Structure formats: structure tokens, C-alpha cells
Amino acid sequence: MTRTERKHAVANEAWRALRIMSEFVDAVDTMSRIPAAISVFGSARTQPTDPYYLKAVDIGRKLVAKNFAVITGGGPGIMEAANKGALEAKGVSVGLNIALPMEQKPNPYQNIELDFRYFFIRKVMFVKYARGFIIFPGGFGTMDEFFEALTLMQTLKIEPFPVVLIGTDFWSGLLDWFRKTLDAKYHTISPGDFSLFHVTDDIDEAVRIVHETYMGTLQVAEDLPRFSSDVEARESGEGTRRGVFPRRKALSEPPSDGAI
């Protein structure tokens, strides 16, 4: 690489940082105005005749009936179904669309629509503005969101919130592997980590769990510590706890502006 090429590469990286900041600002400005929401995930390949598609439509309607907004990735399949149910129930139907090399066509059931260049910014919006996750059968992207939620709760970076998996037949193999391999054989997770999520085939049960947790009548992930007054556990501006920096003395007082 020549000196001129290196100079241009550095300049491009600087502009990339500004694009990232701009995308965050636009997303936060929009998402901070929506009501309490539930993020619904699932496969983009699920067809409208599939029973899970029909259940996702139903769950979109029932979440709106409980005064929740519905957030999805804005694409087809389960995302389309949940947005459709929410829109037909005259609720807030949010689509967080992603620009992909192979075009993902936004579904037509969004009344709040955002487009993202960066997956990681989109993922922040899914978590920061959700009071729970409802996860239908899906592929790598769906698994990514599932494990993201588990990791953030297990490491105490966010307050525990309900994560409900729809489809016992679909999820049973993965959960058996959790128990036999991660827990029993290799001890890479704890038995208490199974309280981080709930599995059901019942749409009404899923809606009840997220609603009762939001209303404060149900506590999820009971094995995790709760922090009501610990300074280092306060939520920061981006929706995660500040925590204690490694190899750095913990701050005795929080910043006055609530920033990191």
C-alpha cells in the first residue's frame, strides 16, 4: 500500500466512525419515542401457511392488546407475521431493517421503519428498547439474538428480562445439548442459567410472561443478583450496566450526567 493509499484508508475509517455515530443517533431518536416494546425474532424463511407464522401474527395482536409495541427485524417470515399482527391491531409495529449484499425486502406491515448499515447498532436497538424477547424457530440470526440476551443477563450487563422460546419441538435438541454438554459434562454454564429463558408452545403463556414481568408481578431469572442501589450496577446511556473496569479502581461516585 502506498502512502497515498494509506492516507485514504485512514480518512475512510474516520468517516466510518461518523457514519456509525449518525446511525446510532438516528436510531436512538426514533426508538426512544416508542412505547414499551417486545422484540420478536424468528426465521425469514417461514411461509405464511406455516403454523408458526400464524402464531406470530396472533402474538403481534396480543402484544398490542397489552399495550406493547412490537419490534422485529423488518424482513419476511416470522418478522413479517409479528409486524402484521401488530399493525392489524392498530399498534406500533417497528421494523429494524438491515442492508445486506443480497437484498432483504422490508415487509409492508411497519409503521415505524429504520434502515441499518451495521448489525451491531441494530442489535443494540433490539435490546435497549425491549422489555422482553419472544423467539420463534429460526436460523443463525435468531440464535444470535437468543445468545446475546443470555450473555447480557448472565454477565449482569442488563437487568433480567423475559426471554420466551416458542416451539418445544424446535428448541428441545439445543436445550438437551445445553444440559448434557455445557452443564453436566463440561461445566461451562451453571444449572441456574436455565432460569434465563422459558420454553412454551402456548402463545397466551408467552404474552402473560412478558406482561406480568413488565407489570412487576413476575420475576424472571430469579437466580441472578438484583441491584437496586449499587452505583456500579446503574444502567448507562446505551442500555447496559456500567460495571467495574478491569484493573481500574471502581468509581466511588457516579458521573453527574449519568454517562459512562
> Which pLDDT value is given to residue 225?
83
CA 32/CA 155 separation, integer angstroms? 25
d(CA 181, CA 81): 34
pTM of the predicted model as reported, rounded to 2 decimal places:
0.88
Which residues does the chain have with pLDDT short of 70?
5, 7-11, 103, 228-239, 242-260
Task: Select from 51, 106, 112, 115 the least CA-distant residue to 86.
Answer: 112
State whether the Cα torsion 189-193-197-200 is positive or negative: positive
Domains along the chain? 35-226 (3.40.50.450), 230-260 (no CATH)
Residue 199 dihedral angles phi and psi, to the nearest 5°:
-115, 135
The DSSP code for 241 is: B
C-alpha distance from residue 151 to each of 6, 158, 178, 214 (Å): 37, 9, 14, 21
